[in-house]
């Protein structure tokens, strides 16, 4: 897994991952699950984090987010961007925790 805290714009990082085949849209679901492009919800702990990119807003340190490139238990690959810290809701925080991503 690659882990970065860089100044590169998030959109460029995610575009690079899409070029690597992480092109499915996935989303946070309730209770620590992820809604996958396979039309199933899986526990976030079942996903493999292949890349992650953490960034903080330069003008607002409260803009804390992490983007991850994930491979699901179904074999689908996609990206997900999560807020962490005070901006994260309960479901997003639980998904981040289960993925091993920062939560504060």
State which residues form the domain around 74.
Answer: 2-99
Q: Is 11 within a domain?
A: yes
Tell me the per-residue pLDDT of 44-82, one tens digit each, with 9 for 90 and over.
999 999 999 887 766 565 668 889 999 999 999 999 998
Q: Is 42 within a domain?
A: yes
Q: How confident is the model at residue 98 (pLDDT cuts 50, 70, 90)?
A: very high
Number of CB atoms found within 10 A of residue 3's CB: 12
Give the count of domains, the chain. 1
CA distance 59 to 32: 30
Please, are residues 95 and 34 in contact by the beta-carbon 8 Å criterion? yes
Q: Is 79 within a domain?
A: yes
Q: What is the mean pLDDT of residues 6-14?
A: 76
- What average pLDDT does the chain have? 85
Q: Is 74 within a domain?
A: yes
- Nearest CA to 47 out of 62, 27, 17, 20 is that of 27
Q: Is 69 within a domain?
A: yes
Q: Is 104 within a domain?
A: no
Q: Is 41 within a domain?
A: yes
């Amino acid at each position: 897994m690659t882990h970065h805290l860089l100044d590169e714009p998030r959109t460029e990082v995610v575009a690079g991952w899409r070029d690597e085949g992480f092109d499915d849209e996935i989303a946070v679901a309730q209770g620590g699950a992820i809604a996958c492009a396979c039309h199933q919800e899986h526990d976030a702990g079942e996903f493999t984090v292949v890349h992650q990119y953490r960034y903080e807003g330069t003008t607002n340190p409260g803009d804390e987010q992490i983007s991850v490139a994930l491979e699901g238990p179904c074999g689908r690959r996609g990206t997900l961007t999560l807020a962490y810290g005070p901006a994260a809701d309960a479901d997003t925080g639980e998904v981040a925790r289960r993925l091993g991503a920062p939560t504060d």
